[in-house]
């Protein structure tokens, strides 16, 4: 019985030491990330690969970005039309600008951008397409841009009104019989 008890205690000690070692490795990795050590490439942004774009925080050198406009009103369009707009920006900092992600607030709003670093003083664009199919009424959509900037996120807004398709089938409801 004593042998079994000693083996159990030894197993607990080994597991505890392993957990402490793993925690230390995780702390070392976090510290390196904060210092910019282990970034993906020279001048690029290393992020937590399991983090959502909203949670990503740049490591390494940061820069600044200036958009010509962050809000675009497309006015009124007919349902089913696709609205495209180009948001122009400039790297106003002293380090290469890397856009890690750009994400629309829903599947109907799709941003496209270059993954190439933008040199200081240079310009770039983010193209956004909004698909109005099935979206009648007033619309406000947001694109969250995550980059090696402070703050790490910039928000682009696209708004307007979608006129209901006159050829769309009218929504019918089936009357519910009264309960007895």
Q: What is the pLDDT of residue 168?
A: 72
pTM score, two decimals? Answer: 0.64
170 or 112, greater pLDDT: 112
pLDDT in tens, 142-154: 999 999 999 999 9
H-type helices in the chain, by residue range?
Answer: 2-35
As a whole number, mean pLDDT of residues 74-81 equals: 96
Cα 6 to chain centroid, rounded: 51
With contact defined as beta carbons under 8 Å apart, do 130 and 121 qualify?
Answer: no
pLDDT in tens, 83-127: 999 999 999 999 999 999 999 999 999 999 999 999 999 999 999
Cα–Cα distance between 34 and 28 in angstroms, integer?
10
Q: Does domain 65-163 have CATH number 3.40.50.150?
A: no
Domain map (residue ranges) of the chain? 65-163
pLDDT in tens, 5-60: 654 555 454 454 444 444 444 444 334 333 333 333 333 344 444 455 445 556 78
Tokens of 81: 């039309």
Tokens of 77: 């369009």
């Amino acid at each position: 019985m004593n042998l079994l008890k000693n083996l159990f205690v030894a197993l607990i000690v080994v597991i505890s030491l392993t957990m402490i070692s793993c925690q230390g490795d995780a702390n070392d990795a976090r510290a390196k990330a904060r210092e910019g050590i282990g970034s993906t490439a020279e001048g690029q942004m290393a992020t937590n690969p399991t983090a959502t774009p909203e949670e990503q925080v740049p490591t390494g050198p940061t820069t600044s970005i200036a958009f010509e406009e962050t809000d675009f009103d497309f006015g009124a369009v007919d349902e089913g039309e696709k609205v495209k707009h180009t948001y122009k920006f400039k790297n106003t900092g002293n380090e290469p600008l890397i856009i890690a992600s750009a994400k629309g607030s829903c599947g109907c709003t799709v941003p496209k951008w270059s993954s190439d670093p933008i040199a200081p003083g240079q310009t770039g664009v983010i193209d956004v397409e909004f698909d109005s199919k099935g979206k009648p009424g007033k619309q406000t959509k947001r694109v969250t841009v995550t980059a090696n900037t402070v703050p790490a996120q910039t928000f682009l807004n696209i708004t307007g009104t979608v006129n209901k398709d006159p050829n769309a089938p009218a929504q019918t409801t089936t009357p519910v019989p009264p309960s007895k």
